[in-house]
Chains A and B, each alone.
Chain A
Amino acid sequence: NAGVTQTPKFRVLKTGQSMTLLCAQDMNHEYMYWYRQDPGMGLRLIHYSVGEGTTAKGEVPDGYNVSRLKKQNFLLGLESAAPSQTSVYFCASSYLRTDTQYFGPGTRLTVL
């Protein structure tokens, strides 16, 4: 099992550009999450999904959109990147909401 994978691992964008981060899990988990991690702050939830076709806002959803068209994939989109979105993005998944979460390796995004 690959667990949770994320692509790409690194990306540099210019302000105003768009991109999509892909998260894939092969554990048949219902719940998937997108977090961002910034220096001096704890992980913060951007959006999450409780199953195929569902999405919900987390703590810091502004400027991001998500989609969960297939159970194993959770996409995070930035329509018009801003320097404030420079961060490390982690995807995670879990079988139940309060279960152990399994994290992807992270994507380091820099917006110039």
Chain B
Amino acid sequence: KNEVEQSPQNLTAQEGEFITINCSYSVGISALHWLQQHPGGGIVSLFMLSSGKKKHGRLIATINIQEKHSSLHITASHPRDSAVYICAVYHGSQGNLIFGKGTKLSVKP
């Protein structure tokens, strides 16, 4: 069983829709990251969180430590949001990031 599971694997949305990507993990963590991988391959960090909620522009990330679950929301989606979104967790005993397989989002105009 993968330690970090993302759902859905693929997501197609119409421009303007509200989008939710989910991440569940099975290990104790000290922090969770959301990253975005552009179609060209570049990877950028969106959020790092260990509790509660963070917001940046149209992106909102939440985490529930007790339920071992995080969500990434995109409000008023736009075609430029099309990318792969990756969840990664810091597992305390290993001390390195464990990555999910990613969710491929396509936003149609």
Contact B33 A42 (CB under 8 A): no
Given contacts A100-B48, A103-B44, A106-B41, whether A43 and B99 have CB atoms under 8 Å apart is yes
Contact B45 A101 (CB under 8 A): yes
Contact A43 B86 (CB under 8 A): yes
- If over half of B's interface residues share one DSSP class (helix, strand or loop), that class is named, otherwise mixed; here it is strand
Contact B101 A41 (CB under 8 A): yes
Contact B41 A101 (CB under 8 A): no
Binding site for A on B (CB under 8 A): 2, 4, 30-31, 33, 41-45, 48, 86, 88, 90, 95-102
Binding site for B on A (CB under 8 A): 33, 40-45, 48, 58-59, 88, 90, 92, 97-103, 105-106
Residues in A with CB closer than 8 Å to B96 are 33, 45, 48, 58-59
Find the B residue at minimum CB distance from A90: B43
Residues in B with CB closer than 8 Å to A88 are 41
Complex CA gap A33/B43 in Å reads: 14
